[in-house]
Amino acid sequence: MHITITGNLGSGKSTICKILEDKYGFEIYSTGKVQREIAKEMNITTLEMNQLMCSDRKYDTMIDDATARISRENRDKNIIFDSRLAWHFVEQSFKVFLSVSLNVAAERVKNDDRGNVEKYSSIAEAKEMLAARAETEDKRYKDMYHLNYFDFSNYNLVIDSTCCTPEKIASIIMQEAKKFEATMKEKGAFESGNQGINRILISPKRLYPHPVLSEELNNLKGMIDEYAKLSDYIETTIPVSKNGDEYMILDGLDQVKAAAAAEVPFIPVIIN
């Protein structure tokens, strides 16, 4: 099985990949590590490295070619590709996008030990630099490959890491990847390239209006008791609108309230 993992900066990709390596025996191929090493050798920041890559394709080409080659030559191995664009270059994979709120991402990267080239003096500075990096990378991918990196329809699983533990996220990724692989093999869809979206799983705490735990929940007791038996997500898909990294509930507020009260980690959503 090949799994490609990408996502927002600070979403915890490396941590989750390490869990998949340790617990499930996957080998990790990380292009982010390669990029940071190149930046370190050149004594520049990761943002400066991204800006340099806008004008010099040799770094992107080197990383992309290696990713495609490794995937072709190791079809019989379990590999995790921790890479911004591996979902595009790996021919057959379960494509995962890790989402995270900008505030939480900024807290994570500020507190992480990523060397002198990625140190931030404040949360505000981290947010500003993360937003700038995301904008730079998005522009580069559109210019070079005509790809919309943040288009969720590129992925089989979009999962929110804002509030959930990495261990739970890794477990859900494996469950969904196995179901996806079985379905694809049954349909022969890998060969046809039909690898459309599967699920978008968002924490109830990222949905607006925030589910308020109040006396109203007395009317939802039956639903809450039912949801309390779930460990991953409810089955009902909730329609939402998306504005930046905020999700507004369009319908199904009672289900969201009950899921939040039952401490269900995720809500399946469809973005309208």
Report whether the peptide linkage leading into residue 209 is cis, meaning its omega lies within 30 degrees of zero: yes
Q: Which residues of the chain have pLDDT under 50?
A: 191-194
- Domain-wise residue ranges, the chain: 2-202, 204-271
What pLDDT does 209 receive?
81
For residue range 86-100, what is the model confidence (pLDDT) as tens digits? 999 998 899 999 999
Topology of domain 2-202 in CATH is Rossmann fold (3.40.50)
Task: Give the type of residue at 141.
Answer: Y
Residue 53: what pLDDT? 78
Residues constituting the chain: 272
pTM of the shown model: 0.85
The pLDDT of residue 117 is 53
**What's the CATH number of domain 204-271, 3.90.1530, 1.10.150, 3.30.70, 3.80.10?**
3.90.1530
Order across the sheet with 2-7: list the strands.
Answer: 27-30, 79-82, 2-7, 94-99, 157-160, 199-202, 267-271, 238-243, 246-249, 207-208
Look at residue 55 in the predicted model and tell me its pLDDT.
79
pLDDT at 192: 44
Q: Do domains 2-202 and 204-271 have the same CATH topology?
A: no
Q: By the 8 A CB rule, do 17 and 29 touch?
A: no
Rounded to 10°, the helix 13-24/166-187 angle is 70
Name the token pair of 173: 């990724």
Backbone angles phi, psi at 11, to 5 degrees: -85, -5
**What is the pLDDT at residue 174?**
96
